[in-house]
Chains A and B, each alone.
Chain A
């Protein structure tokens, strides 16, 4: 526990040292790197200790805030979420130094450093807090740090718009959390989680109401549809390492909150499981379809995060249904699958965002259709991004497959009775998602890195320097390592899953061990695939040794002057799938067909606005704004009249109370 405090202190200390050191770039950089690395490593130690079966006593310190107490604990659930917090905090933090330097002063260096470290520190507190006041305070610090990171380049109107949408959403969410904790706290007479757990209402409308508040509050942060709309706005505009931390870790704080709520709840009705399954399936499916339609790399990754949050939601749904039906194995499987996917997603999505940052800086644009051929020009970045893309498709032997396999076991394994048996159809959803994600990442990766460059800036692109490459290398290794040796990670996930919903740890661990045993074989077969490909590769080398190996241009199918602009674009690549699903995603098309015998100009433009944000919420907000315009008359700027308002209000209050 001391180590966790040291970690938080180092991160926060580093944060507060950043602004005063702004005038001395070298010192600021050294301090920032030292605090990031030492802080995150110090924080990882207790988390790993708990996940390997150790026990850390709870820490309680007095805190002068009303009802507040510095109450921190690391149970397996907290420990599991601490891993992504510190792993991504470490890698993205170190990468961030290189990124800030390569940005050549386009970014407010000191404030990005300050808020990034603060974000990591506050997330560590969010997952370990055991007092609602401390939890909400850390939550708010996290949300605000995120806001300032989103708004780092606030000279741009689009950035300000994204920041505004983000802060509105995050505060709507936190309002729900305030109400939820206030209700729970007033029942318990204390803001302590343990006391709240004891005083939770039994199954009934009040528990359902609390669940609805938790679902909106935490679900908004996690990015479940229909609360997802802030995400594709906020992620693209933040600096890439901040997007990585937000997408890979901050969204998971919402997942953590929901899981913590389930663990506090005395009973889990089957309806919650259904809600999670439906929301999860909808988020995942629409997330990946909208990702397919994006051309902005970071926006695409943001939609893909919604997809992955949906997959995590599917796991939580299985877990909740298992709890509701008293099926311990199924509950543990669902939660373990969700947790494994939490870890996988945090690894590959942070890597994807870091890679996206490197590409953006090299090419100067987030549009994938302007790039191409970057694998040849940025070999290391592209190699690392490839492992992340394969993980994102859920393919073995990479990390993404492990969680999905566990979820498939949950869906297909049976063990439920009655109508709940129809969750087997969830397996079809998961399979469809796998196929669509593969299409999406083949498209994005292929357009960006394969083929010929489509523009001059892509032709000149170069790999970034070591400070940005090494963190990516570390994450890529982790993506592959978890896929090849899933055993320890799966055990840790099983341990944490057992701590949700008060499963009997020994019993569910034994049940899960049996279910998860094949994971070792899966890892081994994955390794065999690597070895076998290497063998075939060597066989080919041996065969070709004494023969002519010629290099020629790509065959143009008879056309003699192919140009890079004739390559298949991402739009064309995604078109067959978007055509099938056009009913779900009405895109806006602007078509100027060629007219007459000698057509001069023709054009085609298509865009896919977010249906919820652009088609419903923003118009609705405009209507509200217009209809409340008369209230602006009260905002006239005369101080005397404001004081008069205050006086009148006081008199009314006095009359009402007396």
Chain B
């Protein structure tokens, strides 16, 4: 691992500080599409700050499971962020880390769903049920995308797979993998067309309804963890497309790339409606098929 202290600090600070900004970019894009001014770019920072300063209200039904959900899911998001490359090598990297990355996020989902069920509300149960159901389809798509990249690069480490160096040898595969990963990212981060983060009707929510009973610092942990996950996913997409260059230029290119992903998400959310829930599996099967075709290309 040729990781300098500067690179480590840069990785950590980007991972810890930038995530809420990405959500600000998405919100601004959506506002621009809607012809509105929109919330400030730093809105989520204000929200987090306010939530951390609040007291808490817990449901009488809940147990330690409810309190474990937010903290463990934030911990897994941050550790997944240490496994994923932002610029240069990731702080933690080993052959097979791609699988571990997927399962760490799975652990976060498992405890979040358990915490949702702990409140004993039918709405939260509904959200948990949808979340785990859709995740079952997102996982194979992610693993197939990883398999395609592993076949193309001969490496099982995220850093080597997402190096942006494959355009020449595996161009069509990159397009397919990128498409699949984009769809999976939308599903895993509860964005339109899988889930609507801005909806106000509990019956139609997935992720939002799971955290209905969380408030105060718990909600802050959850919102922050979600933004970290989104940043990590966006970074994977950026690293797939852009060649990696360490140093300030690399960071500038990466920042611009992540901002573009944010704008792209905002554009998707502004231009289409949330899909009906029964169509979500089909949406993810498209991702699975795209990744499977990429695997076939990589086997050629």
By a beta-carbon cutoff of 8 Å, the part of chain A in contact with chain B is 372-373, 375-376, 379, 386, 390, 393-396, 401, 404-405, 408-409, 411-414, 421-422, 424-425, 427-432, 434-436, 438-439, 442-443, 445-447, 450-452, 515, 517-518, 521-522, 525, 528-529, 532-534, 536-537, 539-540, 543-544, 547-557, 562, 564, 566-568, 572-577, 579-580
Contacts and interface: CB of A to CB of B under 8 A. Distances in A.
B167 interface: no
12 contacts: A442-B114, A533-B74, A540-B67, A547-B55, A551-B57, A551-B59, A554-B59, A555-B213, A564-B120, A567-B122, A567-B125, A574-B129
Q: By CB atoms of chain A within 10 A, which of B54, B57, B97, B114 has the most?
A: B114
Interface string B93-118: 01111011011101101100110011
Grouping DSSP codes into helix (H, G, I), strand (E, B) and loop, the B interface class, with mixed when no group exceeds half, is helix
B60 to A, nearest CB: 5
B106 A438 contact: yes
A390 B67 CA distance: 17
A555 B117 contact: no
B63 interface: yes
Please give me the 8 A-B residue pairs with the lowest Cβ-Cβ distance, nearest first: A568-B125, A435-B136, A451-B120, A446-B117, A547-B55, A431-B143, A518-B94, A532-B75
Interface string B270-300: 0000000110010000001000100100010
Contacts of B216: 544, 547
Contacts of A564: 120
A552 B147 CA distance: 48
Contact of B139 (A422, A431, A521): A431
B202 A557 contact: yes
A123 B212 CA distance: 51
B100 A405 contact: yes
A187 B76 CA distance: 58
B121 A428 contact: no
Interface in B110-167: 110, 113-114, 117-126, 128-130, 132-133, 135-140, 142-144, 146-147, 150-151, 154, 156
B63 A554 contact: no
B194 interface: no
A272 B52 CA distance: 58
Contacts of A537: 67-68, 71
Contact of A412 (B52, B58, B103, B147): B147
B121 A567 contact: yes
B130 A450 contact: no
Interface of B: 52, 54-65, 67-68, 70-72, 74-76, 78-79, 83, 92, 94-97, 99-100, 102-104, 106-107, 109-110, 113-114, 117-126, 128-130, 132-133, 135-140, 142-144, 146-147, 150-151, 154, 156, 202, 212-213, 216-218, 221, 277-278, 281, 288, 292, 295, 299
A573 to B, nearest CB: 4
A554 B209 CA distance: 13
A435 B139 contact: yes
A550 B58 contact: yes
B117 A450 contact: yes
Nearest to B58: A551
Nearest to A539: B217
A376 to B, nearest CB: 5
A428 to B, nearest CB: 4
Contacts of A424: 147, 150-151, 295, 299
A518 B96 contact: yes
Given A529-B72, A568-B117, 19 more contacts: A386-B114, A405-B103, A409-B156, A425-B147, A435-B139, A446-B118, A450-B118, A518-B95, A522-B94, A525-B100, A529-B104, A532-B74, A536-B74, A539-B217, A544-B55, A548-B55, A549-B57, A552-B60, A555-B213
Contacts of A544: 55-56, 216-217
A390 B129 CA distance: 17
Q: By CB atoms of chain A within 10 A, which of B117, B156, B299 has the most?
A: B117
Contacts of B83: 525
B96 A442 contact: no
Given A408-B96, A425-B292, A566-B122, A446 B56 contact: no
Contact of A532 (B54, B79, B107, B140): B79
B128 A446 contact: yes
B270 to A, nearest CB: 27
A263 to B, nearest CB: 27
Given A451-B117, A544-B56, A525 B79 contact: yes
A435 B295 CA distance: 20
Contacts of A574: 129
A450 B114 contact: yes
Contacts of B102: 431
B103 A394 contact: yes
Given A414-B151, A425-B295, A536-B71, A396 B122 contact: no
A451 B295 contact: no
Given A550-B58, A551-B58, A557-B202, A442 B121 contact: no
B91 to A, nearest CB: 11
A422 B297 CA distance: 11
A525 B142 CA distance: 21
B56 A576 contact: no
Contacts of A442: 110, 113-114, 117, 128, 132
A575 B129 contact: yes
Contact of A529 (B76, B117, B130): B76
A556 B55 contact: no
B107 A395 contact: yes
A390 B113 CA distance: 12
Nearest to B133: A576
Q: By CB atoms of chain A within 10 A, which of B83, B109, B133 has the most?
A: B133
A393 B140 contact: no
A580 B134 CA distance: 11
A421 B292 contact: no
B140 A554 contact: no
Contacts of A553: 59-61
B120 A450 contact: yes
Contacts of B122: 566-568
Contacts of A390: 107, 110
Contacts of B54: 547
